[in-house]
Amino acid sequence: GIDAALARQKTFLGNRPTNTILVDELTPRSLGWLMSLYEHKIFTQGVIWNVYSFDQWGVQLGKVLAAKILKEFDDAKAPLAHDGSTNALIDILRQNLP
C-alpha cells in the first residue's frame, strides 16, 4: 500500500478539463511554440492560484500516467480503458502516427 501521507500526492481523480493541440508536422518552430505555450500556461495558472506549478510530485505522477498510455500505442488493436475524451485522442494519434 501507499503511505497515507503520500496518497494524495500519488493519485489523480481525473475528470479535469484539458487542452489538446494537434499539429500536422512537428517542426522546430511548432515544437518551440507548443513548449512556450505550455510553460506560460502552467506558470500563469500557478501565479493565479498561488501554487508552485512545477512541483515534483505532480511531474512524477504525470510520467507514471503517460507511461501507461504510451504502451497502448504499440498495439493499435489494444482496447482502451480510459474516459471517452482520452480514448478518442488515442484513436486519433493511432491513426496519424507512422
**Domain extent listing, the chain:** 4-96
DSSP 54-97: T-HHHHHHHHHHHHHHHHTTS-TTSPP-S-HHHHHHHHHHHHH-
**pLDDT value at position 19?**
82
- Which tens digit of pLDDT belongs to each residue from 35-85? 999 899 989 999 999 988 877 777 788 888 888 888 887 777 777 888 888
CB 66 within 8 A of CB 12: no
Contact yes or no for 30/23 (Cβ under 8 A)? yes
- pTM more than 0.85: no
Write out the DSSP string of 11-30: -------------SS--HHH
In one letter, which amino acid is 59? V
- Which amino acid is it at 78? A
First to last CA, the chain: 39
